[in-house]
Structure 1
Amino acid sequence: MTKFRPCIDLHNGQVKQIVGGTLSDDGVGLRENFVADESAADFAIRYREDNLTGGHVIQLGPGNREAALAALAAWPGGMQLGGGVTIENAAEWLQAGASQVIVTSWLFDADGTFSWDRLKQLSQEIGRDKLVVDLSCRKTAQGWTVAMNRWQTLTQVDVTKDSLDGLAEYCTEYLIHAADVEGLCGGVDLELVELLGDWGKIPMTYAGGVGQMCDIEAVEKHSSGKVDITVGSALDIFGGSGVKYADLVSWNAR
């Protein structure tokens, strides 16, 4: 059964909702859908009180360390941590309260070549059960291609059943942002959801494009309930009007 997983997206130390495809190193062209008055810790406390497990804190670039630490301290063991994770700091984030760490860019060379050695080393260092691999991707001629560096750089890894099989030996979950529809509230990528659901061997969380409750229902239907979902800009606690947070809490309580 598809579950709602909460998120805390951090940019320059603030909780924000951003159109994913506009992230860049220099900040030019960045589109912000929402900037919260509440702190990251405030959101973590809310999720803890409503027992919304399996969510994630994502650092979108530098300047987010203190906010991320505060969120993890507000709910030790309650949320995953992603953004800037490497083998040098993964254990530190786990000690700070992250349930698992989420990694993408560190697994690739500068040219987008995947390093199996790095994946194996990290999995061995912290344990497979503590590692989530982020396969956030863009639509390409190959289907979907993993993008790194805040979704700016296409890698040489495509999201296929074979690649999902290979990576799953070393991680406990996947997080998959559909970067092309992230933050647009225009509907989810159901073809990608179907691919993930048809594979369905380990837990997966999909993000991108949810605009209303029917999108969540569609993810459950098209993935046969094997893919969980996170909701960003459409959610009322993030300034949206398409999805009510209270409805998602009720959805998980079914």
Structure 2
Amino acid sequence: MQFRPCIDLHQGKVKQIVGSTLKDQDNSATVNFESDQSAGDYANLYRKDNLRGGHIIKLGPDNDEAAREALSAWPGGLQIGGGITAENAAEFITMGASHIIVTSYVFKDGKINFENLHKLVAAVGKDRLILDLSCKAKDDDYFIVTDRWQNFTDTKVSKETLQELAEYCDEFLVHAASVEGMMQGPDLKLVSLLAEHSPIPVTYAGGITTLPDIENVNKTGQGKVHITIGSALDLFGGKLSYQDVVEYCQQ
């Protein structure tokens, strides 16, 4: 299990926001934490600790300059998502991203848009593409959600879906949207599903607040499911020690 850190950007600043409150009209959001450090500062920290596979997420417009700063600080060390399309994906690889992360461009109108998926693969290659399969539980299954996690698609996170989509990408990123930001523990049922059925690397996010939570994900995920942590970390105003997480995952 690896720790994959994050840099969430909103209005050019490193923040932790309540994802469902981000509004398209004026790009406003409920902010849990705003850092006085730059995106480049965080990238340099992750580089120092050799935490490869961390991701930059652009939340709305006006974040390209900050994203460029972070990518320049660690070329090849970070992934990027947020507003990525087949038309601009290669640009971010040129900036220094190891991978691009995509959700809504592929999961459109409730379905998988295979035309757009093929365009992305043509633009950057399968080995540079990560699909964000953030999901919510419904009727004892998990379904991919889009548009700030408000809209359910008809795509179930299942053995069949994971195996099918793995043909087009290098990794999966999966936020457990029902527990994200609630700091009430991870969704271990989802972690177990990912560990059992994902044929490619997968990073889980959602609800991790303590070291025992990390231990539970490691055990349930059979050491195969990587983790990312946001608001709970002391880097972002939380109580969980970043250094303790790094040391645990590097053991």
- Structure 1: which 5+ residue stretches go unaligned? none
What pairs with 1:51-66 in structure 2 (closer than 5 Å)? 51-66=50-65
Contact 1:3-1:251 at 8 Å conserved across structures? no
Equivalent residue, structure 1, for 2:85: 86
Equivalent residue, structure 2, for 1:69: 68
Given residue 60 of structure 2, which amino acid in structure 1 is its aligned partner? G
Where 1:16 maps in the other structure, the secondary structure is strand
| Cα distance in 2 for residues equivalent to 1:201 and 1:94 | 24
Given residue 4 of structure 1, which amino acid in structure 2 is its aligned partner? F
**What is the Cα deviation at residue 231 of structure 1?**
0.8
Query: Is the counterpart of residue 253 in structure 1 residue 250 in structure 2?
Result: yes
What pairs with 1:3-42 in structure 2 (closer than 5 Å)? 3-26=2-25, 30-42=29-41
Contact 1:44-1:74 at 8 Å conserved across structures? yes
Equivalent residue, structure 1, for 2:132: 134
Q: Could you give the per-residue CA deviations for residues 72-131 of structure 1, whole angstroms, max 9, x where no partner exists?
A: 11111000000100000000000000000001111133x222211221221132111000
| Cα distance in 2 for residues equivalent to 1:122 and 1:235 | 33
Where 1:10 maps in the other structure, the secondary structure is strand
Given residue 17 of structure 2, which amino acid in structure 1 is its aligned partner? I
| Cα distance in 2 for residues equivalent to 1:21 and 1:219 | 25
| Cα distance in 2 for residues equivalent to 1:149 and 1:177 | 13
| Cα distance in 2 for residues equivalent to 1:82 and 1:200 | 21
**What is the Cα deviation at residue 160 of structure 1?**
0.9
Equivalent residue, structure 2, for 1:144: 142
Given residue 226 of structure 2, which amino acid in structure 1 is its aligned partner? D
Aligned residue pairs total 251
| Cα distance in 1 for residues equivalent to 2:34 and 2:97 | 24
**What is the Cα deviation at residue 30 of structure 1?**
3.9
**CA shift in 2, pair 1:29/1:97, >3 Å:** closer
Equivalent residue, structure 2, for 1:115: 113
| Cα distance in 1 for residues equivalent to 2:33 and 2:185 | 18
Given residue 33 of structure 2, which amino acid in structure 1 is its aligned partner? F
Scaled by the length of structure 1, the TM-score of the pair is 0.94
Where 1:175 maps in the other structure, the secondary structure is strand
**What is the Cα deviation at residue 39 of structure 1?**
0.8
Identity across aligned pairs (percent)?
53
Where 1:98 maps in the other structure, the secondary structure is coil
Contact 1:17-1:35 at 8 Å conserved across structures? yes
Equivalent residue, structure 2, for 1:177: 175
Contact 2:27-2:60 at 8 Å conserved across structures? no
Equivalent residue, structure 1, for 2:104: 105
Contact 2:159-2:198 at 8 Å conserved across structures? no
Output the aligned Cα RMSD. 1.6
Deviates more, 1:20-29 or 1:38-47: 20-29
Q: Could you give the per-residue CA deviations for residues 46-65 of structure 1, whole angstroms, max 9, x where no partner exists?
A: 10011111110001121211
Query: Is the counterpart of residue 219 in structure 1 residue 217 in structure 2?
Result: yes
| Cα distance in 2 for residues equivalent to 1:30 and 1:217 | 32
| Cα distance in 2 for residues equivalent to 1:7 and 1:112 | 27
Given residue 33 of structure 1, which amino acid in structure 2 is its aligned partner? N
| Cα distance in 1 for residues equivalent to 2:141 and 2:196 | 15
Q: Could you give the per-residue CA deviations for residues 109-159 of structure 1, whole angstroms, max 9, x where no partner exists?
A: 3x2222112212211321110000000112222611111223232222111
| Cα distance in 2 for residues equivalent to 1:30 and 1:11 | 9
Contact 1:200-1:226 at 8 Å conserved across structures? no
**What is the Cα deviation at residue 26 of structure 1?**
4.3
Deviates more, 1:43-52 or 1:179-188: 179-188
**CA shift in 2, pair 1:251/1:27, >3 Å:** farther
Question: Which structure ranks higher in relative contact order (CA pairs < 8 Å, sequence separation ≥ 6)?
Answer: 1
